[in-house]
Amino acid sequence: GRRLPRPTKTRILTVANQKGGVGKTTTTVNIAAALASAGLHVLVIDIDPQGNASTALGVPHHAEIDSIYDVLINDFPMSDVIQECPDIDHLYCAPATIHLAGAEIELVSLVAREQRLRRAIDEYVKFRQSNGEERLDFIFIDCPPSLGLLTVNAFCAANEVMIPIQCEYYALEGLSQLLKNIEMIQKHLNSDLTVSTILLTMYDGRTNLAAHVAADVREHFPKQVLRALIPRSVRISEAPSYQQTVMTYDPSSTGALSYLEAAAELAER
């Protein structure tokens, strides 16, 4: 397969959009898998209590598994919870369990409640270094569909935000709220954060609507929108029920190829 250039330092991306069902998790796991299959070292941090990213990456995440919950709330080091994904080399996942559903409230009374993920990641990066392990190239954080403390933790830990946008009615609805929230984070909590990447997903080339939405988003965000479009594809939506990404489930499908293209663009930026 194709090899992609390694970034000069670890890039940390939060995949966010407070709307549910827009393709956050699908984008996270498939871009991560595409980058790892191109030779990069990639970690996915699942901070959605649903644990959909953990499922798609084939990583066990039942209630007894040590998870990102223990990192955020019980001060576990990240290295204690990270698992290797079964199908793709140097792809790792810090899974989410159902306990995370309570974390939103538990975090409120903790010290440095917005910075807990950032600190855990910093420590983990240092831990890998002192252990002589390969530097991570990308870390992706898969967010829940809300703007609560879990998502705030992700924004504080990241350098980049990646926003998946569904090519449907109301695509831009809620986007200005998201951008306002990101501005607040930039102002008060993390001045390094930029909205670097927008990915158009679930594109249905047969409809004028999808083309209009895509053109509209490109006009508003010419620098951020990736050229690659993710089509609406049954293979993409089937893969998670086999605990797989589309990259291994059907590597020659248009869905897999479009995620590879998006990943290559991202890596080459």
Which residues contact ligand ADP (rule: CB under 6 A)? 20-26, 52, 145, 201-202, 230, 232-233, 236-237
SS3 248: helix
Structure token digits, residue 137: 């190239």
At its nearest, how many Å lie between ligand ADP and the CB of residue 248? 16
To Mg ion, the closest distance from the beta carbon of 269 in angstroms equals 24
In the structure encoding, which two tokens stand for residue 230, read together?
A: 């993710």
Q: Which residues contact 118 (CB under 8 A, 6 or more apart)?
A: 153, 156, 157, 190
Shortest distance (Å) from residue 23 CB to ligand ADP:
4
Residue 26 binds: one of Mg ion, ligand ADP, none (C-beta under 5 to 8 A by kind): ligand ADP
State in angstroms the smallest separation of the CB of 158 from ligand ADP. 17
Nearest CA-CA partner of 11 in 38, 55, 41, 47: 41
- Least separation in angstroms between residue 211's CB and ligand ADP is 16
Nearer to Mg ion, 53 or 229 (CB): 53
Please choose which of Mg ion, ligand ADP, none residue 22 contacts, taking the beta carbon within 5 to 8 angstroms, the exact cut-off set by kind. ligand ADP
On whether the CB atoms of residues 107 and 84 are closer than 8 A, the answer is no
Selection from 232, 251, 222, 221 nearest residue 21 by Cα:
232
**Residues engaged in binding Mg ion (CB under 5 A):** 24-25, 52
| C-alpha neighbours within 13 Å on the C-beta side of residue 260 | 18
Q: CB-wise, 44 or 125, nearer to ligand ADP?
A: 44
DSSP 65: S
Kindly tell me which of 18 and 124 has the beta carbon lying closer to ligand ADP. 18
Select from ligand ADP, Mg ion, none the partner in contact with residue 232, using the beta carbon and a kind-dependent cut-off of 5 to 8 Å: ligand ADP
Q: Are strands 11-15 and 160-166 parallel, antiparallel or unpaired?
A: parallel
What angle do helix axes 116-130 and 149-157 make, rounded to 10 degrees? 40
Nearer residue to Mg ion within complex by CB, 25 or 243: 25
From the list Mg ion, ligand ADP, none, pick the one residue 248 interacts with, judged by a Cβ distance below 5 to 8 Å according to partner type.
Answer: none
